[in-house]
Amino acid sequence: MKLQNMAIIFIIIILPISIALSTYVDSQAKTINMQTSYDTMLYSSTYDAVRAFQLNTVNNRYSSVSDSKIRDIEAAISSFYNSLAAGFGSMGYDESTLRNYVPAMVYTLYDGYYIYGKFKNTYSVSNVNDGKDTDGDGKGDTAVDGVDPGKTSMLQDGYWTSEDYFVEPDQYQYGLKPYIYYSIRYVKGSDDFVVNYTLDNYITIIGTVDGDYVTKSGYLINPNLVSGMVENNGVIEQIIYDGVNIERERLNEDLLILNEDPATGDETISSRPENFTYVEYNGKKIYYDSSTDQFFRYSDNYKKMYINDYATNNYARARLRSDGLWSDSAGQFYKEALDFSSWVNAHLSDITVADVVYDDGTQANPNGIVIPKLAEDESTDNTLIATTGTACIFDTTSLENNPTDRSSNFNEHRMGVIRRSITTNLISAIANFSQVSTESYEFVLPLISEEDWDKVLNNICVITFLQGIPVGNYKFYNNYSIVTNDKNKEFVADDSIYIEEAEADRNKVPGSEHHNPGDRSLDQTKEYIAYSNIDYIRQNVYLSNENYYYFYPKTSTACYNCIVSIPYNYDIQDIINGNTIQDVDGRQIDFSNSNIRKAVVTGLARCRYSLYKSNEILNT
């Protein structure tokens, strides 16, 4: 056979193979592209949900109140669907179709979380009055009541009987399921109690401890680190925590006030924001108006709401100096944490992970918290994490178990509890969705990576799942997205504060800057003051359509270097713990006596003290 004939035969054989292969590779590539674009859309929709939550809560002065919070979350979820529908719109999916592919959304908050999904509302419409025929046309009023509008046979006395319901009284609906706390039960001897954990070292203990029924909550710290408290008429002038001298601070911020003329009732907005000093009382800011020598709250309609309440007035008056209010919240924080921690150490110091009892009654593995294994997890059969072993979780007097330290036994245990709680509830929520979904796809919780768990266990975040959308090649999309919310009023993370020079802040020096506490260029000898990052967010004053104003409570501008080049900043944990480190320039930096550490520790304590905590009322 000639060479060219052989070549032709070769080509005739190879050509179809290569065409088939390239088509196959092409379709695989398309599938991957589609998955990537779905990932992007899921992420950006989740981000929009977080953004909407931030914008809504920052401008909501009652955002800590439960009902108001639920409302903010539901609004954020509806933003998620709006955004998802806008993204998927070009592919022909609308919002109601997309709902069939979202088995669950998780909103983790400070002390627990909400799962949003489809569930059976067991509220029954068996009360036949619901199906009343009010317009008297002999037909049921609405289909919403569950009555077939066309039915006439069973009408009795103007009411429908239960046989007329054409649907099951128990309806499936989308909504937030009840709030779930990060909690776990311990039983040891006569002790039987539940501990609610949070994203930091704040815990609530409910149950029988040493024969008494107690409900206590507070920050768990090492009680040996607190000393030198100077108290004057209930005001903590000074307290020392881990070598940091915590003193009172003068806090101030700007407000744009809507003034009302008492005679005419005319409302005028101030031409520029006014500066006031404040203290925080029960999670609300109390401002001092030096012109009238009165205290006020900033109301939801942007007015000064003068305070008549005796206790609040007394609290503020006791903290008033000649140049305004001086807060002792940081001192109060450590005083209360000391009381609580001393009690916990005296009563619960012998509790270990072996005393944990799960909700199904099973005793815990003595080595750690058991996390259920996920369907996709083939890597290991070891489902234990948080291996605290025989260590005593609540004995915080030793240096190894300082609850503020991320690697402490307490913290490992806390993360194990939260992870178990979220995993078990999500597995069942997503599996249940398979039963109620109109899609034939079997919904299961995908494997969440360790990095993502780290985000969930230490931040407020939103986890969304999108599953079951066909992506070609007989494959279905199954992924999740986690976006953390670092600007919120729920939780003060270690890195959610900025510092500025105390002198400049007091005198409101124009053009001053606020810094990341880890900024390497800061002069460690100057005095600093820390504020929450929320205070630097723009607030809006919304009077009517097209008539709105903006203002910044804290007017200093962000320092360019320390906020842009975060990788070069000092680690916030090193600053808080007062470690000695060697920086990239080879300098030895000792944070133990640094003024920055003082500002950070004081600022964090103050912000945490002022947080609204739903379990605080349980304190007895």
Partner 1 sequence: MDDTLGIIIAIGLVAILMFVFPLMATAERTDDISQLAVQTETTKFVDKVRTTGQLTLEDYDKFYSTIVDETSDSFDIEMTPQILDENPGVKTTQAEITKIGENFYYTEYTTQVLEELNENNKKVFKEGDIFAVTVRNTNKTIAQLLKNFFYRISGDDTYQIAAQHSGIVTVNGSR
**In the complex, which residues of this chain contact partner 1 (CB under 8 A)?**
2, 4-5, 7-8, 11, 15, 37, 44, 47-49, 51-52, 55-56, 59-60, 71-72, 74-80, 82-83, 86-87, 89-90, 540, 542, 545-546, 548
| Residue number, 2 or 587, with CB nearest to partner 1 | 2
Tell which residue, 79, 21, 27, has the closest CA to residue 50.
79
| Residues of the chain by 3-state class (helix, strand, coil), percent to 5 | 35, 30, 40
Q: Are 600 and 497 in contact (CB under 8 A)?
A: yes
| Residue number, 401 or 533, with CB nearest to partner 1 | 533
| Residue number, 159 or 552, with CB nearest to partner 1 | 552
The first and second tokens of residue 312, run together, are 């609040």
Nearest-approach distance from CB 546 to partner 1, in angstroms: 8
The first and second tokens of residue 496, run together, are 């959610």
DSSP letters for 392-418? BTT---SGGG-TTSTTSHHHHHHHHHH
| Residue number, 79 or 277, with CB nearest to partner 1 | 79
Helix (H) / strand (E) element for 501: namely strand 497-501
| Residue number, 92 or 178, with CB nearest to partner 1 | 92
Instruction: Report the relative pairing of strands 226-232 and 212-219 from DSSP bridges.
Output: unpaired
Q: Are 220 and 334 in contact (CB under 8 A)?
A: no
The CA–CA distances, whole Å, from 526 to 522, 558, 562, 594, 596 equal: 9, 18, 17, 9, 8
Nearest-approach distance from CB 5 to partner 1, in angstroms: 5
Helix (H) / strand (E) element for 9: namely helix 3-58
| Residue number, 89 or 243, with CB nearest to partner 1 | 89
Rg of the chain's alpha carbons, rounded to an integer? 30
| Residue number, 207 or 472, with CB nearest to partner 1 | 472
Nearest-approach distance from CB 28 to partner 1, in angstroms: 15
Nearest-approach distance from CB 142 to partner 1, in angstroms: 17
| Residue number, 75 or 269, with CB nearest to partner 1 | 75
Nearest-approach distance from CB 72 to partner 1, in angstroms: 8
Nearest-approach distance from CB 257 to partner 1, in angstroms: 19
Nearest-approach distance from CB 531 to partner 1, in angstroms: 22
DSSP letter at 327 equals B
Nearest-approach distance from CB 370 to partner 1, in angstroms: 37
| CA atoms within 13 A of residue 353's CA, in its CB half-sphere | 24
| Residue number, 43 or 159, with CB nearest to partner 1 | 43
Nearest-approach distance from CB 285 to partner 1, in angstroms: 20
| Residue number, 212 or 546, with CB nearest to partner 1 | 546
* Residue whose tokens read 């299961």: 444
User: Cβ contacts of residue 419 below 8 Å, gap of 6+?
Assistant: 369, 371, 385, 386, 453, 456, 457
| Residue number, 4 or 382, with CB nearest to partner 1 | 4
Q: Are 87 and 98 in contact (CB under 8 A)?
A: no
| Residue number, 71 or 506, with CB nearest to partner 1 | 71
Nearest-approach distance from CB 253 to partner 1, in angstroms: 21
DSSP letters for 344-378? HHHHHTT-BGGGEE-TTSPBPPTTSEEPPPPTT--
| Residue number, 9 or 230, with CB nearest to partner 1 | 9
Nearest-approach distance from CB 96 to partner 1, in angstroms: 15
| Residue number, 486 or 571, with CB nearest to partner 1 | 486
β-partners of residue 528 are 501
The first and second tokens of residue 376, run together, are 């996709």
Nearest-approach distance from CB 482 to partner 1, in angstroms: 18
| Residue number, 89 or 366, with CB nearest to partner 1 | 89
**What is the amino acid identity at position 192?**
D
As a whole number of angstroms, the distance between CA 523 and CA 223 comes to 31
The first and second tokens of residue 121, run together, are 């509302």
Nearest-approach distance from CB 118 to partner 1, in angstroms: 19
Q: How far apart are the first and last CA of the chain?
A: 100
Query: Which alpha helices (H) appear in 403-490, and where do they start and end?
Result: 409-436, 450-458
As a whole number of angstroms, the distance between CA 210 and CA 525 comes to 49
Nearest-approach distance from CB 70 to partner 1, in angstroms: 12
β-partners of residue 480 are 465
Query: Any long-range contacts for 203-209 (C-beta under 8 Å, 24+ apart)?
Result: 204/111, 204/615, 204/618, 205/344, 205/348, 206/618, 209/347, 209/348
Nearest-approach distance from CB 490 to partner 1, in angstroms: 18
Nearest-approach distance from CB 48 to partner 1, in angstroms: 5
Tell which residue, 369, 388, 428, has the closest CA to residue 106.
428
The CA–CA distances, whole Å, from 143 to 122, 154, 175, 479 equal: 18, 16, 21, 36
As a whole number of angstroms, the distance between CA 556 and CA 40 comes to 35
As a whole number of angstroms, the distance between CA 137 and CA 546 comes to 47
| Residue number, 83 or 329, with CB nearest to partner 1 | 83
